[in-house]
Structure 1
């Protein structure tokens, strides 16, 4: 009997200026292989967040330049899951979850206004981890940017563009 592989998330991408923390569930196979957030070419994350920050060519930039653009826009990244067992990339296959400590990270970000969850699984797990502390921030559930969530980008975009209100000065 073959065991199901355990997979781990990446470190958070934040700084003291972070206003919005966008949390996914757990990186997919392509992201894990490349050690980059949202590495699958069909994942719509970089196009969606590029529209949010007015940086339409964000997907064309190098990974490091994308992360720098997010930090400049005061957006941070992390995942709700520190590690879990999962075959493939589907959130439905996530099991034996060890959560990331979202509440501790969030309380250490002095300018944090909102926590956005990229997809239903991230939202469900993240809210559980935040518990009562979730009341300190605006919580924004977002439609998943994953290619496994087959709703088109046009249908997802309005919810993602709501992030602009939080980023405003």
Structure 2
């Protein structure tokens, strides 16, 4: 029995495949989301270096729009509303959450990423409600609301820490 396997690819175009699966990471069972987050780390470093600039927001909007488009196309081709091979939502989510949280060293970033994945898997209420949105909106939305909430929580903890430490 192999520990890793590559899942079959539906009949979608190359661009949809590369975006939805984050360069194929979503096809590697069982590491899908973890690989997508590993790919996100260098992007987070770039965003950290850019700081809180409009370009960071623009990059996130472009990535989210590409993710929505790929999720829509993938869902249309497979008939599945949130196929597990789609991992662009995790990539965009962790990038958005990290951008909101602000600069983080490697260890806090790893903890943030693990917390994000845990919340994404658990999908507690009210985050789970966004999954009901149709097509790409639901695919991207549930990860984005988790990421935004987690990013805001980290930012709030930092502010409180700075105030009282």
TM over 0.5: no
TM-score by structure 1 length?
0.28
**Larger RCO: 1 or 2 (CA < 8 Å, sep 6+):** 1
More helix, by proportion: 2
TM-score by structure 2 length?
0.29
More strand, by proportion: 1
